[in-house]
Amino acid sequence: MTSLNDCRDRDAADPLAPLKNLFDLPQGMIYLDGNSLGALPRAVPARVAQVVAEQWGRDLIGSWNSAGWFDLPRRVGDRIAPLIGAGPGEVVATDTTSVNLYKVLSAALTLVEQDEAGQGQSKQGIAGSTCTPRRTVVSERSNFPTDLYIAEALCRERGWNLRLIEPHEVQTCLEPDVGVLMLTHVNYRSGAMHDMPAVTAAAHAAGVLVIWDLCHSAGAVPVDLTAADADFSVGCGYKYLNGGPGAPAFAWVHPRHVARCWQPLAGWWSHAQPFAFKPGYEPAMDITRYQCGTQPIISLSALDCALDVFTEADKLGGMAALRSKSLALTDLFIELVEAQCPGQFELITPHEHAKRGSQVSLSPKGTLPSDSAYATVQALIARGIVGDFRAGDAQQPDILRFGFTPLYLSYENVGMAVQGLQQVLVNKEYALPQFTRKQAVT
């Protein structure tokens, strides 16, 4: 079994170890929750202070031009683009994931309807020609709830159907009535990762458009939307991109689709001539048409600064190196849990590297009470080991969820985290009243 000294030796040989110094992490904390909220990059407070005191406080409205505020969503999008396999001018950092999903899903529904209308006109007069209307959006039942809520609302509004499936049904669900497949690349509960190129190819072969949510992928695992020939994508800026709570999200639309239809939130920032102030809407011909209204410049500036960390990571091997360390960290965590807490947890996250994101999810089993996940996480937090809990239901168990961000986590962190978990079990701290689900403060 790997010892703490072995972990320290691995840290000493880790070429990415200097990146941890770019973050301001609380002393004595092992932070395994970067898949919910990324840690604070050290340079961000000074950048925000400069934007507030100088750009806003001193230069006021002049900063729209002198500081380039109006172009900031596009510039930040260009910095995210290499992390998700997009080209320059193809990504915009704007709004929230939910709002961006509403935009791209609405656009996808419109494209399907437009294509059907065109096909219908071309078949007029042909005896016996029939075509099943594509009026179904397919997504996973375990997808992140906001994605499902947005899809449900749009389907109700547009007269479409929402069909929920299990992960193993993804490539067998593409029936003639399906128009759009909406998936999260890495599942927020299990950490399971889809084969994006294979799923996208299967969908396109069936005449289905694909939307990918990259909230648990961008900055954590290599993504290549262009190579996968995806249609639309959205993602957030506050998890592995470390942009801060509520950081702007991003949207990507394949260039072949950008100018084919309006997105529904036609605000002035998406206008072809936003400062002409014309009464009629003329959408921009590029990705800026997926903006809406005035953007949160301070938050965008924080995200812009946070992305400097990836510039430094590029000097040390970029996303390939980060992915290699992520897999090594998660492999080590799984190994140590199985060795030090034998028979006490079921691994929910896939063992296979190709199917795993950058997190590990466990559910209690063996002698552990099935409802002990919450209390176990709370006991760990009390020890300075921060993971998180996700409640289950009739179909899914409660889980302990741990995110592994290779930018600032060490192998020693992993070893100490599992030692802490072992002590929680040995001491039965999960049974202490201050950690029970009813009494603990979340």
What 145-153 contacts at long range (C-beta under 8 Å, 24+ apart), as own/partner pairs, is 146/97, 146/98, 146/101, 147/101, 147/182, 147/184, 147/213, 149/98, 150/98, 150/101, 150/102, 150/105, 151/105, 151/182, 153/102
Known catalytic membership, residue 103? no
Which parts of 236-344 fold into alpha helices (H)? Answer: 255-258, 297-306, 308-314, 318-340
Catalytically annotated residue among 95, 213, 231, 304: 213
CA distance 430 to 369: 9
β-strand 388-390 against 399-403: which pairing, if any?
antiparallel
Catalytically annotated residue among 144, 374, 402, 404: 144
Known catalytic membership, residue 78? no
Record the tokens describing residue 217, joined without a space: 């992928």
Known catalytic membership, residue 404? no
Known catalytic membership, residue 213? yes
Instruction: List, in sequence order, every residue forming a beta bridge with 283; answer none if it has no partner.
Output: 271
CA distances from 432 to 307, 343, 425, 437, 439 (A): 41, 22, 11, 10, 10
Catalytically annotated residue among 103, 401, 402, 408: 401
Catalytically annotated residue among 239, 325, 383, 390: 239
Helix (H/G/I), strand (E/B), else coil: 183: strand
Report whether 326 contacts 358 (CB < 8 A): yes
Known catalytic membership, residue 374? no
State the amino acid at position 129 in one-letter form.
Answer: S
Q: Which residues are catalytically annotated?
A: 144, 213, 238-239, 401
